A and B are shown apart, each in its own frame.
Chain A
Amino acid sequence: MPLPTAPRALSLRARIIAVAASIAVLTTVAVVYTVSAARHAEPSGTASAFGLDHGRLYFRSTGAGSGRVARLTARPGAAGSSGNRTTGGPACERFYAAADTGLCLQRRPGIPPRSYAVVLDRRLHEKRRIALTGIPNRARVSASGRMLSWTMFATGDSYATTAFSTRTSILDTRTGYLIKNMEEIPLTLGGRRYHSPDVNYWGVTFARDDNRFYATVSTKGKTYLVEGDMRKWAARTLRENAECPSLSPDNTRLAFKKRVREGAADPWRLYVLDLRTLREHPLAETRSVDDQAAWLDDRTLAYALPGHGGRRSDVWTVPANGSGNPSLRIPDASSPAFVP
């Protein structure tokens, strides 16, 4: 460490000049870097060049039109279905859509930074905006488009200051009723009523009746799959170790991520659980997936993985019955959502 131990070798004036000159150089570096970074800034807004149409695959583009919702130009099944994208949707960190409703989680930098859940209509125009705190993480819309749910990560909720906690909200778009944080829901764990301040919920998925739902709850370092009831406002655990459930369109199976390794390296693998037999099977995707998978139809799941070759994120698909192989569906994309 080249720290001179005898700075008095230089006069005070010389030291002031040297430090001032260094500060000038460092300021220049900082300003030039910031200005060039600002020049690459991405546009933001909720204006959309297209709406929600049936039979289209929507996603958040991380390549061209980065940070905005895009959709595949061609319908799946048509020739060149993995082809070009139409960009120019709303700017979202996380996106999901079903029927005539889109859900867009946004974050706006500033002092303080703000987050929003934006409800979009079938033209992908803004209908309602809810201010939130935290970092957007999961978004889901029920098949009818009526029930919405999202999860935000929040910091500062715990005594270990860098630890995160989650806040999951549920919005009924028909009544306008909003549950900002669902963690007060009466929970039955292993058959007994459970109380603990450390419960965290995330990754809600709704059934077709817009009443039953599934989600993850974590407490005391364990995660559980819960089944909930909106009208009764109650939840009970079904099993341990299942996160980010996603209900199939026919409502018979749940895709989820299961922790298969302790620690931070590659902890998860995608599984599918049959709700009648409560039997599970792993999918052909062996990489660790940290996403709430989306069903494209009753046989296929889509999910995001970190990209390769400089891409931030790619969307992959894999058969839901455990057979076959994963295949790259959309490069430079995340938040897949198929509108049937």
Chain B
Amino acid sequence: MYLATTDAAATATKVTRGRVGGTVLALGAVSLVTDISSEMVTAVLPLYFVLQLGLSPLQFGFLDGLYNGVTALVRLLGGHAADRGGRHKLVAGAGYALSALSRLGLLLAGGSTAGIGASLAADRIGKGVRTAPRDALISLSAPPDALGRAFGVHRAMDTTGALLGPLAAFALLWATADAYDAVFVVSFCVGVVGVLLLVAFVPGRDAGAPGRDAGAAVRPRAPAARQPRVRLLAPFRAPAFRRIFAAAALLGAATIGDAFLYLLLQRRLEFAVSWFPLLPLGAAAVYLLLAVPAGRLGDRIGRRVPFLFGHAALLGGYVLLAVTDSGPVLLVGVLLSLGVFYAATDGVLMALAGPVLPAAGRASGMALLQTGQALCRLLAAAGFGAAWTVWGARPALIVAVAALAVALAAAAALLPGHDRKDR
């Protein structure tokens, strides 16, 4: 323990002076641009369906659950495909390209429900496919002791895109007086830029000599082709990964979902409703500001700390909602806790898991982890919805607080005290 701590302190000074690798910055730029493109469309789709196409929105809700299931499955396949032969860039690129093309699908679909459904499915499949290979690329192109910061930088850039997207879309609608086709065309162009950035600036399998770019050559230790076939559930063989997976799944199953928090906020606050859609942007701004510091902190003192602290912050947000009715306190407190939660957990979890996964199986391992977490969150959201219906908002919140506290204690016990010992 003593040795590990001094080791951490020594690397920390190095990390502070080092720079984030070009690959991480390139992937961050790709994500930024792609998120502008996708959030533009996401922000205007409800308006487009109802006002422009005259579709009944109540018909569209049921598709969502289906898409979430598809995304989870596709994510596993994406990770698996990327690991076979180390084709991270190719698989991620295919995902980005598919999402960009889906905007043209929306443009051409017109009012055809089948066409719209197919375009949305293509977008989700693209998103599912690219996530794990991209995160594996980040973890493979940064030194293990600076992973937290690398993911922090990437997530900050990604969130910047998510912030700019809706603003760009509403500005476009304002300038063109509701020309949704212009939003789709611009979104497509921006998405293509993302793909081009990936193709041009993210090194592929045979890129560069090892050692360049701060050990950033994206290359599994041995050519995967010569290895035994990667199995979908192989990452579970490593005990360290099992513990991280169990902790993430447990915590995910005790997370009630952002939409509920915003809904609870909305019921407690009486302010100008037209500003309500901007609430998530407040949480995103906090996320954006804190992602890099949280990642660096994780590199310095061990990544379990921010990961657990982030969930503790979320717990604080739930408690606030349960105990106070003061509008300003709730608004600031809940948005802060959500932002801290994402900053301290999202990229940090990948940085936590990266080092315990072999390079040749990293994408599949990360896909497994993300899918497990997402499915647990989905279950939790459904469970909270049911509890709210049966008992009312406050009792359901109290149950959520208790569940998250228990999960947090369990996760603290599950996660190894210093994540470097596996190296």
Contact = CB atoms under 8 A, between A and B. Distances in A.
Interface string B149-184: 000000000000000000100111111111101100
Contacts of A33: 181-182, 185-186
16 contacts: A3-B89, A3-B94, A3-B204, A4-B204, A7-B207, A22-B193, A29-B185, A34-B179, A37-B179, A107-B47, A133-B276, A135-B50, A156-B263, A158-B385, A162-B64, A163-B60
A3 B201 CA distance: 12
Contact of B176 (A1, A41, A197): A41
B93 interface: yes
A131 interface: yes
A116 B62 CA distance: 28
B207 A6 contact: yes
A110 interface: yes
A198 B386 CA distance: 10
Looking at B172, B262, B274, which has the most chain A CB atoms within 10 Å of its CB? B274
Contacts of A115: 274
The 9 closest A-B pairs by CB, nearest first: A163-B61, A41-B177, A37-B179, A164-B57, A133-B273, A109-B173, A37-B182, A159-B381, A26-B189
A6 B174 CA distance: 43
Nearest to B281: A112
A100 interface: no
A79 interface: no
Looking at B94, B201, B262, which has the most chain A CB atoms within 10 Å of its CB? B201
Interface string A8-46: 100000011011001100110110011001101110100
A111 to B, nearest CB: 5
B3 interface: no
A54 interface: no
Contacts of B94: 1, 3
Looking at B63, B174, B189, B260, which has the most chain A CB atoms within 10 Å of its CB? B189
B204 A6 contact: yes
A4 B61 CA distance: 39
Given A18-B200, A114-B274, A153-B50, A34 B90 contact: no
A134 B138 CA distance: 39
Given A30-B185, A109-B170, 7 more contacts: A15-B201, A38-B182, A137-B50, A158-B263, A159-B381, A160-B61, A290-B54
Contacts of A41: 176-177, 179
A42 B90 contact: no
A163 B167 CA distance: 22
B207 A109 contact: no
A70 to B, nearest CB: 18
A282 interface: no
Nearest to B277: A112
Contact of B259 (A114, A133, A156, A306): A156
A196 B392 CA distance: 8
Interface of A: 1, 3-8, 15-16, 18-19, 22-23, 26-27, 29-30, 33-34, 37-38, 40-42, 44, 93, 107, 109-115, 131-133, 135-137, 153, 155-164, 195-198, 218, 264-265, 267, 290, 304, 306, 312-313, 334
B70 interface: no
Contacts of A198: 385, 389
B399 to A, nearest CB: 15
B43 to A, nearest CB: 9
Given A1-B90, A109-B178, A15 B276 contact: no
A111 B167 contact: yes
Contacts of A155: 46, 277
Nearest to A37: B179
A327 to B, nearest CB: 21
Contacts of B324: none
B259 A34 contact: no
A93 B196 contact: no
B64 A113 contact: no
Interface string B42-67: 00011100110010111111111100
Interface string B89-101: 1100110010000
A160 B206 CA distance: 42
Given A1-B97, A34-B186, A23 B193 contact: yes
Nearest to A29: B189
A159 B384 contact: yes
Contacts of B222: none
A114 B174 CA distance: 11
